[in-house]
Structure 1
Amino acid sequence: MASEIHMPVPECLIENINGRLVVNPVTAKILSAIRQPVVVVAIVGLCRTGKSYLMNKLAGKKKGFSVGSTVQSHTKGIWMWCMPHPKKPDLTLVLLDTEGLGDVEKGDNQNDSWIFALVVLLSSTFVYNSIGTINQPAMDQLYYVTELTDRIRAKSSPDKYEVQDSANFVSFFPEFVWTLRDFSLEVEADGQPITADEYLENSLKLKQGNDKKTKNFNEPRLCIRKFFPEKKCFIFGYPANFNYLISLEQLQEEDLNPKFREQVADFCCYILSHSKAKTLSGGITVNGPRLKSLVQTYVDAISSGDLPCMENAVLALAETENLAAVQKAIAHYDQQMGQKLKLPTETLQELLDLHRASEKEAIEVFMKNSFKDEDQVFQKKLADKLEAKRDDFCKQNMKASSDYCMALIQDIFHPLYEDVKKGTFSKPGGYYLFIKKMKELKDKYHQVPRKGVQKEETLRTYLDSKENTADTLLQTDQLLTEKEKEIEVERIKSEAAEAANKMLEEMQKKNQQMMQEKEASYQEHMKQLTEKREMERAQLIADQERVIALKLQEQRRLLQEGFKKESMKLHEEIEALKRRLGICNFL
């Protein structure tokens, strides 16, 4: 639970060791304990632009992330701070602060590009922090966004309906929030006041022309518009009327400009209220362990010289999660059967009914905890394990019944055969006395409840082992004529044949019950799989429709601005998405 998370200070999650990114295993382990969905808010920007100050305010703390007060960059790599979400108790807030982009100490823009790409991949809200207005230098500093398609792969291999450029990324890219610090100008256009969001939209408008300068002007703007159709902007004035950067975190609230305090409060309120839980394609909600897996998978790919691939990361995550889902389902099944099952059961159907109810719940547990189970590999593993569990319980049930019945038989019939040894029935008329006594003892045996599925077979096996006793008494009883003995022999044979037929019928009935149970199990698996697929399909369609709607908005804007070529490119992406959506609707 989020309330159990105790991170008094941020810890480094991804270390930057001489330009090489490495996951800190101790910090990553903290994520494993977070079972709630996570809201991941990450911030990037140039060095010494006050990123850490904003993150500390989101954490509700005055200190935490290192706030640089000199020309030296403090934060190296990516730092993490986890805490209960202050507004949403069912979520956990994960804050990610990054080393400053463009740090002269590194002299490595490639490292900056990987940091930028990682936080885009990991966050649900992506904050870009800069100083002053949105002008061309500010855009030039954001050129990392133009490299995203060179740094990230959506799929391991494209299919025939592969959508080009940004369309594959939009469905899971985070919301983009641009924070402008130390903004001293009036926010207006054509002499009229405008909102910060309108200012951002105006700043992202393209210019006509095909020369290199115009292309350089348009490229980052176009990338932001295509990759991040959901955008928000916040403008902050100067925090104080003196050199606040020397000790911003040491300043008291009353030392800060009231307007700045209001702007920071608005920013925090928006981020905490609007930021959503991190999700993957298909609406898969990310919790702590899943976030840890994504972090490790992406960093491993970068370290190996490969590109982080979203599809591969999800499949690697699914492999681990689905195996765990099978284990959770089996554990639930064992718990339910342990609580409800008392061996031996009176009938096989009683055991099978308990199994079926527990199996249904186990499949539900698996469906809830699994995702992207390609070709139902893990569901089949679960089905095999549940079938083996059922068969094992059937064997245990038979043994428990046999053991109980044999003990009962020994208790009931042992005195009878002791009397036979003593010669009690070795006299004229003794055979019928033995048969009468045998019938009384059988009735006594049958009156005992809950003997289980082996009650008849165990008794028959026992009596068959004692068959010579009755034969001997019959043949030596001097009161009986030879004709009476022949009749009695035929009666015994007839009873034995009838008992054998009854046993055969019982065996056929059990086989039929097991076949019906197997079919019912298959149908339950298919029913729940179909329901899960319908939910996933609905989610996928909703995702695709949302992306199409956002793309259509952007296409209309480009058309209105006179950029027909870019508008046509988006049109092609939209048509490819519609074809993919058509396939989803068909399936």
Structure 2
Amino acid sequence: MAAASRCGRGLQPPFLLLLSCLGALWAEGAEGRPVAVVLPVVSTSRLRVDQEGLKILQNIEGPVAPVVVIGPYRSGKSFLLNQLLNVSCDSGFGVGHTRNTQTKGIWVWSSPVKVPTRDAIPLSVVYMDTEGFESAGKSDSYDDRIFALSAIMSSVLIYNLPETVRESDVEKLSFAIELASGLYNTQGSASNHLLVEPGSMIWLIQRDFLTGKTVQQMVDESLAQVDNPYHDKDIDQINRIRKSLSLVARNSTAFGLTQPHLNRTGLCSMGDAMLDEGYVRQKAQLLQLVRDLATPKIMQGSIMTGKRLAELIERVVEALNERDIPSVTSIVDSFNAELVHKCIQMYVANWADFDLPKDEDILGDIHATFLQSAMEYYDSHRFGSSDELREGGNVLRDGLAKQLEREYDTKRTANSLKSLEICESLERECEQTLERLQAMNLPSKKKFVGEFSRCEELTFDAGCKGPALAKQKARLQAAWKRELGRFEKDYNDRLYLGMVIVSLAGIVAFRFIFKVQAMEGVCWVLFVFLEGYPRLIESQAEMYSSGWWTAAVRVWEFLVYNLVTKSGCLMLACFGLFFLWRLGLRIRRRKGAPKRDSGRDLDV
């Protein structure tokens, strides 16, 4: 409303009227108010974020372009922003000589200026005011924090300076520039996304310029390298600072702004008609320059929204508060430390697709692949390009490698425990198979060896992997040798006893039941041989190693465990049925013979 009323004044010259209307069209944020985003922590040099200001930023939809004004204490920053927004001092940012409380920390205008773009998505230009440096009761580290945050988050950084560029002004900005340079540049290919893309910088010099050098020439001379033929350390430091300042923005511009009026304390009560015509004209030009330079802020390769701007402010404030006196290395390390944590998480997550246990060689190859992937990710995404930052980054890189090795050691321990658990379980299963085979009713050495070999091959060897394989394999082989020795002794003894019992049973059966003298005689011969032969030799072991015993064992193994059925019970059942069938047939024939004889006698 204030802008519209000024446009309607008929007493203004036509040129001033046009400029006033242009400012009113540009400043769509006149309905807003200043809100704190970052405030100082009482009695310290640290910063804290204000939730009200963050919420305002988070509610901004679409791309944002923060315009941040920095400069010395009471240099006219707040008044300049009020002029760009076309709002009065009473409703705009606090001006030092009109309010008891000046700007503390960083404040944002709650109503962003909407600017149309080519893709029809409006750009939100967010104006921010900062606390001036060298204010009473504030340390250099506090100013460094304000400047660093401003340089990182701004799309357009306006460095507002009265009269000229002093050496102290250059030094004050050097920390923010070095920090911004560290975060803007990364190692690796050009395709890597930076944390934030560098914005544009305006050197705004407010003074009454005399004829001669332009403001751009004055700034260029102030930032030019100083000749140092004698390699003075102090001059080297000055030149290093000047060199770093050239990296702060992709587009550095100098702009001169004359004093608006001789009465500085009454500026807030003056309209454009009362201000210097040159100032009003330059203000409109500055407004247009800011509009041209205000482009969407880029963060990690994508356009920054209000929500992401709020997240960036929180991260940078947290990083700036890490130490009492922040340094470029400490801030960059703070961001890289988060990257280290992400690399560790990525390394651990990669193992989720691999089940344990694994052989040590395979586990080592997997670790080497994941380690290389994590280190390459760190190298391609870490921040810092100067020698100092690379050295600090290498320290973090070495620490990352050590942490990944510790994660690998943990994985190796888990692999060993899992391997031991599975191998012990499979070993017990095969040992239980041996115990079951020891107790089989019809002993068979072929079945004993075959069943164990199948368990060892299909169960133990197929399932047991990893570092416990060798130890548990040796334990299983020892159990096999022990059980095999015990089985062989019991096997021969049981077979010998069985043959004795079968011969006695045959004698009884063929004498009293079936009455087959030939078969009874065979059984007697077998019984006498089995009872007498062991007494003619020194030990049973000699008998078990003889040829006839080996032949008997082969016949027995064929009967109880053959390739067709793999089951002695079925083969014995077949032989038993065949024997009973033949026996029954013989009995029926013997019973039928007397009947035929008695019939013939009756006929006679």
TM-score, structure 1 length as denominator?
0.49
TM-score, structure 2 length as denominator?
0.47
Structure with bigger RCO (C-alpha 8 Å, 6+ apart) = 1
Q: Which has the larger radius of gyration?
A: 2
